[in-house]
Amino acid sequence: MKKKRTQPAHKSYFFEQGYKDIGSAIKTSWLKNAQTAKAYYDKYNEKGLMSLKGVYNLFCALSVVSFGTVFFALISAVMLAIVSTFFILVYIGFSAAWLFDRAYLTKKKIFTACNECKCKSLIPTYICPKCGAHHTNLTPGAYGILKRTCECGKKLPTTFFNGRKRLQAICPNCLLEGKTTYLNDRESRPLCVPVVGGRSVGKTAYITAFSKKFVEFVAPQHNLDIEFYNGAKEAIYSEIKADFAHGSTRMTVRPQDITQSSSISFSFFVKNKALKPERLMHIYDIAGEVFTDNNENEVQRQYEYCQGIIFMIDPFAIPTVRARYENLLTPEDKAGIGKADINGIINVFINKLREVTGLSDRKMSKVPIAVVIGKTDSANLCDEFSDEKIEEIEYLNAKTELQRIDIIDYLCRKFLKENEMESFVNAIEMKFKNNRFFAASAIGHTRDAGAYNPVGVLEPMEWICTKADKRLASLWVKEKYSKKPIKNIIDKLEG
Ligand SMILES: Nc1nc2c(ncn2[C@@H]2O[C@H](COP(=O)(O)OP(=O)(O)OP(=O)(O)O)[C@@H](O)[C@H]2O)c(=O)[nH]1
Ligand SMILES: [Mg+2]
Ligand SMILES: [Zn+2]
Ligand SMILES: [Zn+2]
């Protein structure tokens, strides 16, 4: 137990009052004993040694002092022993309950990720439903084993198995209270995936396409129940549905008001009988300018604990690709091209990642990164990753067992390397042990030309899910992602 902050609650009997009670019991009995002895002694003083009564009283005083002392010492010792045993049992009891609760949270990978400040917390700050007091460490302890009594008299559960998660909670870091900022996590297991990349590379379009597909097609097909995190997230989904229907995207702005957060998560629960606890997906959308202008309103702490990252690139931001396809692009597509240099973005991003995760390249290299070449519908770029191309490679490498998705990965790397992006590919391969390349089109066609018709948007998330949450993946992931390092496959293809 780390921070020892006082809680707005009554200490459990065994931690405060218990000790006081034994203390005073012993003290009073000693006092009584002394008083009795003194009374006899006073009587003796009155009578003196010459009278029988006087001798008798002296004898009494002496025996009270000697026998009484022995007697009370014995009684006190026995009492202390009994009470201590009881105390020890209670200590063992609450330690066991604390450990059990902690072990459950850790083993089930439960934590809360604040929507506002992005801070991660294991035990959020819970609010007393009766008086609104903040309980920062609602776990078994000095304030009670399974329940604690709030200052107002309300009994609050302190563990995962007796209803703690049903209490209203707030983030212990930013302490924001309000309808949209209450933590509504209910001790679920989060899956946090930030979608990053430069301005206009298609991050928001990707999130729109994936979310709509997942919520309305994948989930019903695989018996997954979806529930939005709160009203604010439901409102985001309304926008997603509208954009999806019209084939549009909304520009993600970094709010000028710096108290507003730079990244917004679209969050929803995924529920199924086999998922205990329920899962909570957070997909983070962040304004691309954060990577080009290198300023943001809050530190993106989600990089620290996220289970995967989707790195979007706009292929038409690559000079050679743009030059080659320029005349095939529609005016809308041309207008929507991301202008930032991809190598610049990845460097800014890696630095940010290093800042937040506090150093270690080793820790950084563990998080799976899905590099997604987007907008493949434009200028028929999808021909580079077409089924014919895939089959051709399969045919030429009949001896090696290749998965379709592995070949796409190979083709993406090849495409980037052929377009002077070798250093980018190398940076990804060097910094992230777990990397995979994907080709996708979120909208499926030029913007505003009808409803989205997404291609390849599920796969990046599928792959991250396979890496991060096997149980969840087993319920919906179709594609087979070879466990072998992609590097080996590529070497084989190239060798
Ligand atoms: N043809 C085509 N265009 C796309 C696709 N996805 C995005 N775009 C275009 O790219 C532009 C930017 O897309 P957004 O999704 O808003 O990009 P973003 O990365 O969220 O941009 P910021 O939020 O400003 O950083 C849009 O106006 C679209 O025209 C796609 O799949 N196909
Ligand atoms: Mg955006
Ligand atoms: Zn917070
Ligand atoms: Zn209270």
User: Tell me: the pLDDT tens digits for 309-366?
Assistant: 999 999 998 989 999 998 888 888 888 887 777 777 787 777 777 776 665 666 667 8
Nearest CA-CA partner of 346 in 364, 363, 358, 329: 364
pLDDT in tens, 381-409: 989 999 998 988 888 887 777 888 988 99
Q: Is the pTM of this model over 0.95?
A: no
Q: Is 389:411 a contact under the CB 8 Å cutoff?
A: yes
| pLDDT score of 3 | 46
C-alpha 263/C-alpha 116 separation (Å) is 9
151 pLDDT tier (thresholds 50, 70, 90): very high
Encode burial over 157-185: b for 16+ CB neighbours within 10 A, e otherwise. Answer: bbbbeeebbebebbbbbbeeeeeebbbbb
Q: Where in the chain is the domain with CATH 3.40.50.300?
A: 189-494
Query: Is 271 or 81 the better-scoring residue by pLDDT?
Result: 271
Q: Whose CA is nearest to atom 30 of ligand 1?
A: 375
pLDDT at 217: 95
pLDDT, tens only, 275-305? 999 999 999 998 877 777 666 766 777 877 8
Q: Which of 120-124, 165-169, 179-183, 426-430 has the lowest mean pLDDT?
A: 179-183
Q: 189-494 maps to which CATH number?
A: 3.40.50.300
Which atom of ligand 1 is least distant from the CA of 205? 15
For residues 240 and 213, give the distance between their C-alpha atoms in angstroms, rounded to a whole number.
Answer: 11
E-assigned strand segments in 100-256: 112-113, 120-121, 125-127, 134-135, 147-150, 155-157, 169-170, 189-196, 225-228
| Residue 50 near ligand 1, beta carbon < 6 Å | no
Instruction: For residue 205, give the nearest of 370, 368, 437, 376 by alpha carbon.
Output: 376
Name 197's Cβ contacts closer than 8 Å, sequence gap at least 6.
203, 288, 291, 311, 312, 313, 314, 338, 345
Q: In the numeric block, which tokens belong to residue 418?
A: 């052929």
C-beta of 254 in contact with ligand 1 (< 6 A): no
For residue 252, the ligand 1 atom closest to its alpha carbon is 23
In 174-316, DSSP assigns E strands to 189-196, 225-228, 263-271, 279-286, 309-313
What is the share, in percent, of the chain residues with pLDDT greater than 90?
Answer: 44
pLDDT average, residue stretch 97-126: 93
458 pLDDT band, cuts 50/70/90, is very high
Tell me, using a 6 A CB cutoff, whether residue 314 lines ligand 1. Answer: no
Ligand sitting nearest the alpha carbon of 345: 1
Q: Is there an atom of ligand 1 within 6 Å of 376 CB? A: no
Closest by CA to 180, choosing from 108, 265, 258, is: 265
Mutate to test the pocket of ligand 1, among 195, 196, 200, 382 (most ligand atoms within 8 A of CB): 200
Specify the ligand 1 atom closest to the Cα of 447.
Answer: 29
